[in-house]
Amino acid sequence: MTQFVYTIDEAAEALRLGSSTVRERIRSGRLRSFKDGGRRLIARQDLVDYIERLREEAA
């Protein structure tokens, strides 16, 4: 089954970043996230979009 949402720790692991860096990216608006109850989650597509923006900036 495909994973559609990630916790901050899971997103950090997928991006090979620290969780505090992922939180900073969320606070700055560079990485979209949403809350479900008390949990902050990141949609798989938002991770893909974030990576694509990084690639475009590096070009």
| Position 2 confidence tier, pLDDT thresholds 50, 70, 90 | confident
Write b or e for each residue in 2-39: b if 16 or more Cβ atoms lie within 10 A of its Cβ, otherwise e: eeebbebebbbeebeeeeeebbebbeeeebebeeeeee
Domain boundaries, the chain: 5-58
Fold of 5-58: Multidrug-efflux Transporter Regulator; Chain: A; Domain 2 (1.10.1660)
Q: Is residue 55's pLDDT more than 90?
A: yes
Give per-residue pLDDT as tens, 5-44. Answer: 999 999 999 999 999 999 999 999 999 999 999 999 999 9
Identify the residue whose tokens are 């949403």.
34
Residue 41, CB-side half-sphere exposure with 13 Å CA sphere: 12
> Would you state the pLDDT for residue 32?
98
